[in-house]
């Protein structure tokens, strides 16, 4: 997964970059296909906001999180994206490929 990190009204330090890369490594484990993530870290008064857009094959996923601390916002964002990617992966899996009565002509 390729990650592009930008900051709006905040300087993105190497520590923040490392933290985002570490959290997104966990997210990337659940999604086997190539994806590009664009992460925007911003500050609005007392709120720290982290938002990300992940471009996958056929779908674009977006999530954002607001917390009083930037690291907490990144944690929340990673959790949301993790759930979204698992849900997307489940949708892509064909659940009808198993043996069924209709395919085997063995109607009871």
Identify the DSSP state of 17: H
Confidence category of residue 33, pLDDT binned at 50, 70, 90: confident
- The pTM assigned to this predicted structure is 0.81
Q: Per the domain annotation, does 104 fall within a domain? A: no
Question: How many domains would you assign to the chain?
Answer: 1
**88 bridge partner residues:** none
Q: Per the domain annotation, does 108 fall within a domain? A: no
Q: 24 versus 29: which is more confidently predicted?
A: 24
Q: Which percentage of the chain shows pLDDT scores above 70? A: 86
pLDDT digit string (tens) for 72-107? 999 999 999 999 888 887 777 766 665 555 555 555
Flag the least confident range among 20-24, 28-32, 60-64, 87-91: 28-32
pLDDT of residue 10: 92
Q: Per the domain annotation, does 41 fall within a domain? A: yes
Domain that holds residue 65: 2-92
Q: Per the domain annotation, does 57 fall within a domain? A: yes
Q: Per the domain annotation, does 107 fall within a domain? A: no
pLDDT of residue 56: 80
Q: Per the domain annotation, does 55 fall within a domain? A: yes
How far apart CA 59 and CA 33 sit, in angstroms, is: 12
pLDDT above 70 (res 48)? yes
Q: Per the domain annotation, does 76 fall within a domain? A: yes
56: domain CATH number is 3.30.160.100
Q: Which percentage of the chain shows pLDDT scores above 90? A: 54
Q: Per the domain annotation, does 98 fall within a domain? A: no
């Amino acid at each position: 997964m390729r990650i592009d990190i930008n900051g709006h009204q905040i300087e993105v330090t190497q520590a923040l970059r490392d933290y985002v890369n570490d959290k997104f490594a966990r997210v990337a484990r659940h999604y086997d296909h190539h994806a590009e993530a664009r992460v925007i870290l911003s500050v609005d008064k007392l709120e720290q906001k982290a938002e990300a857009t992940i471009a996958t094959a056929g779908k674009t996923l977006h999530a954002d999180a607001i917390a009083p601390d930037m690291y907490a916002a990144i944690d929340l964002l990673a959790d949301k994206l993790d759930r979204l990617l698992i849900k997307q992966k489940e949708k892509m899996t064909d659940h009808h490929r198993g043996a069924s009565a209709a395919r085997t002509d063995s109607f009871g």
